[in-house]
Structure 1
C-alpha cells in the first residue's frame, strides 16, 4: 500500500496541478484535496456522495479498491438492482438485458444501511464459522497425528514383546528337547551297559571253560574225556541259546539317536518374511463442523418443498424372511446402512450398494431405535428394558450401558448430543459419554420417534396421528395432523424440511419447516408398504426408509432442486 504522500487530488491533476489528497469519494472514484473537497461537498450533484479519509481508504482490501461504481459494459453509474439475476445494472443494462425481469428495484434501496443488514451478520457469521471449522480440522489432524505417534510406539512395543515371547518360548522348547536328548541317551546307555556287563561275565565264564577243556584233553582218561565232551556240549548249547535269545529280542540292533522336529522349522522359517503387517484403517469420524448460515439476503435460490423430487437409488433386501425393522441409520460418507430388527433381535449392516454385509449383534432384549454417535459407535434403545447401549459396530460388541430410569423409544443425535425419548413425558439429553446434560419435558405419552435439527425438536405421536415441533425448552411451536395416519419414523433434511413415515397412509410425507405445507414424496405406487423407520444423511441428501414387516427397504436421493 502506498503512503498518503503518494496520493494527489484527481481534480487538481486535471489542471496540471499537484495537491495532496486528504479524502476519496467512493461514488466519483476520485481523490480530493481540502479545497476540492469543499467544492465537492457544496455541489448539488455530489454533496450527498459518501467520502472517506485517506487513512480509511488505505485500510480497504485490494479487491474492494478494484470494484467499480460504473457498469463495465456501458460506463454508466449503477442505479438498478435486479433481484432475479442478483446483479446491479445501469439504465442501459436494464433496457438491454433486464427488460423482462421482475423485481427491479432502485439500487439505493438494496444497499442502503447495508452495514446494519442481516446479510452482513450472516457473512460475518459464515466467515467466523469457516475459520472455526478450519481450526477444528487442524486440531483433528494434530490429534490424529498424536494418536498415530502413540499407536506407533505401542506397535513397536508389541513387536518387541512378541520377539521376546518367541525367544522365551523357543528357549523353553529348546531346553525341553535337550533334556529329552539327555534322558534318552542315559536310558539307552544304561541298557547297553547292562548288556555289556552280561556279555563280559559270559566271556569270562567261556574263557574259563576253554581252559578247563584244554586241561581235560591233556590230562584226563578217555572215559573222562567222553563224559566231559557231553558236559561241554551242554554248556555250549546253553550259551548259544543265550545268544539266540538276544538276537531274537533285537538286542543286536544298533542304537542311533535321531532328532525329529514336530515342526519343520528349518524349512518354514525362511518362508516367514515378517511377524505381521501394518495397516492404516480409515475410520469414519463425526467431525462437528459449523454449517453455513441459511436464509441469506438476495439468495437467488430458496429451497421449495414442491421441488423435492426423490429418486430411488437402491432397494435393500432384508436377510430374513420375516422382519420388523424399527430403526435405521445411514453411516457417515454413506459407507453403509445399519438396521435394527425386532423379530430376530439383531443389528445388521448393508453396504452402500445395497448388499447385505453381516449381522453385527444379536440381543437378549428387543431393540427399538438407533442413532450414530461417533467413529464406529451407535446408540441403541430397547422396548423391554430401561437401558441405552453404545455399540461398536466394527468390533461387534457392547462398549457401554446407561439406565435412563424409564421406557425408552426413539433416539437421535445432533451436534455431539444424544436425545432419547423416555416415558412418560420427557426427552433425555446425553453427551456422547452418556452423561446426562438436560431433560426436556413434553406433553403426550404416545410420542414414539424424535428428530433434532438446530434449535428445534420434532416428534411423531402414533396414537393421535400427529407430527409436532417444539423448541428445546419444551414449548410446542406447531402440530400437524391433517392427512397423516399413524406417523412413526421422522427426520429433517439440511433445508429444515421434515420427513415422516406414515404407516397408515403407506407413504413418506414431507412438511415445510413451519408445518404449514406438506407433500407426499413416495407412496405405495413405488412399492412402499407400511413405512416405519427412516433416517436422513443431511450432507449427501440421502434418505433410507424401512417397511415394518416387509423384506425390502429403500434408499432415496432427496436433493431439493
Structure 2
C-alpha cells in the first residue's frame, strides 16, 4: 500500500516519494488501498474490488472505467481540479460579469448578490468567450518565450565564465602595460633631466666666469683708488676720482644687475593630473572598478515583442442627417465580444460598431463626452469634464444603450482607463495633478508618487495604465515625449525620439507594450514598458488621434481628427 494520505483531503507528501491515488470508497471506510481504476461518471478513483460493483449493478454498467494511467491523461481527470470552487468545493455554475469571476451556487448567493450581471455558464459558454484554442496559442508562445529564457540563461552562464577569465587576462595586460609605461617614463625622464642639467650647468658656468671677471675688475679698481687716496696729491686724487667715476658706476651697475638675476635652480618630477598614484597600500584603493552589467530580458528578446499590423477594414466618419456637425470621436474602446464603443464629442453621442465596423447602435447624450472605457461585458463609463460627471451606460447584446447611473467628481477629467475591478485611472486637465484614481462610486485619490508640477490642457496629453506592471503612461504633445511612471518604485522613464512627434492617444498592446498615435508622422509607434522604441508603422491616415486594443490583444482600431477626412481603421495585431 502507498502512503500518500491517511484520510480523505489530507496532504502529507514527502519529497522524493511518488504519489499514488487511493481508492475513494476504501478511504471512506478508513482503509487505504491503491486505486486501479478511475470512473469518470462517479468522478473518483477505485480499486479493483470496488470497481467490480459496476459489473454487478445494471445502473452502473454505463459508467466509463479507465485505468489510473489513462485517467491521468483524460479531460475528466484534468478538469477535476478546475471545475470546483476552492472555497465551497462545489461545481462552477455561474459567471459574474461585473467582477469577472467564476461562481458556484454558494458564491453567487453569498458574494455576488449585489452584482448586476451573474449569468449561467452553460448559457454563455462558446458564445462570448474567445476560442479555447487561443489559450493554447498563448501557452505555445509562453513556452517558446520560456525556452528562450532557458537558452539565454545557459548562454549567460557560459559568458559569465568567459568574462571572469577575461578579467584575469586584462589585469595582467594592464600590469604589463603599466610596467612598460614606467620603464619608458624612467628612461625618458632621465634623459630629459640629464639634458636640463647639462644646459643649466653651461648657463651657470657662463655666469660664474662673468662674475669672476667683474670681481677682478672691482678688486683692481678698489686697490688703485685706495693707493691714490693714500699716497697721491690732491690734484692726483681729483683727477683719479673724475677719471674712474664712470668706470666704477658701470661695474657697480653690472654687479647689481647680476644680483637681481640670481635664481635657485632645482629639477624635480611631478605626475601629470591624468595619472595619480593611489595611497598605499593598494588594498585600500583599487585603480579601477569591477562592474556587473545586467541586460534586461526585453533588451535581449525585444524582437519577439515587435508587433505587425495587417489592415482589416476601414470606414469614413461623415456627418449624418441627425448630426449638427462633422463627427469628432474623442474616445474608443473594445467590448469583450469584439464590438467597438465610440463617443462623438461634436454630436454628443455614444455609438456601437460591430466587428466589420458597421454602426449598429447609437445613444444621444446631454453633454459633450471626452473619453470612454469598457467596464464589463455590457457596461461602459464616459467622462465629461464640463460638468464634472462620469456616466455609466448599459450596452446590451442587441446594441441597445441605456443610462444606468451618474456620479459627480471634483476634478476635470479627460481620458479614462481601468485600474482594477473597482477603480479607474483618469487624466486630469487644468490641474497640477496630471493623473488620479477614482473609484466606481466616485471617491477620488492621488497616486503615491511625485509627478512633475505641470498642468496639461485638455488636448495636450493622453494617459493609459499598464495594470500588470502598475505603471502610468502620460504623453506630452508639446514636449514630444512619453512619460512612463512606475508606481511601485516612484521612478520615471522619459522617452524622447525622432519617431515620436506630437504624441496623441496611447493604449496597452501585446506583452505590455505601449502603442502610441503620432499626429505629425501619421504613424503608430510601439514602445516597451521600459521606454525602448520597438517599432513604428506608417498608416493610411493623417493625424491619428486615438487608439484602442481588443481584450485578447489581437485587434487594434485607430481614429483621426483631420477635418474633412476623418477615418476609422481596424488592424489585425500579431507578433
Name the TM-score, length of structure 1 as normaliser. Answer: 0.48
TM-score (norm 2): 0.47
Q: Which has the higher contact order (CA 8 A, sep 6+)?
A: 1
